[in-house]
């Protein structure tokens, strides 16, 4: 590994930090979805059962 950070694919620090940034960004997005948006996916029993969803095509025509 090198002793400084450089945006070069053959630099060890770049190769270490790029996957770390991607994982941390994903964890940050999941936290926003859970605690800020209150996404139903994270609430047990809601938003994960495909049979419980009512889609527009399931309604009867008027």
Q: What is the pLDDT of residues 20-38, one digit of tens each?
A: 999 999 999 989 988 888 7
CA distance linking residue 5 with residue 13, whole number of Å:
6
**Rounded to two decimals, what is the model's pTM?**
0.55
Task: State the residue range of the domain holding 19.
Answer: 12-45
Domain count, the chain: 1
Structural domain includes residue 2: no
**Which residues, at least 6 apart from 40, have a Cβ–Cβ distance to it below 8 Å?**
46, 47
pLDDT score for 23: 97
Structural domain includes residue 55: no
End-to-end CA distance of the chain: 68
H helices of the chain, in order, are 12-31
């Amino acid at each position: 590994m090198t002793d400084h950070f450089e945006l070069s694919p053959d630099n060890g620090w770049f190769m270490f930090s790029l996957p770390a940034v991607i994982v941390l960004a994903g964890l940050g997005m999941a936290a926003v979805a859970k605690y800020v948006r209150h996404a139903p996916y994270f609430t047990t029993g809601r938003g994960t059962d495909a049979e419980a969803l009512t889609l527009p095509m399931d309604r009867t025509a008027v």
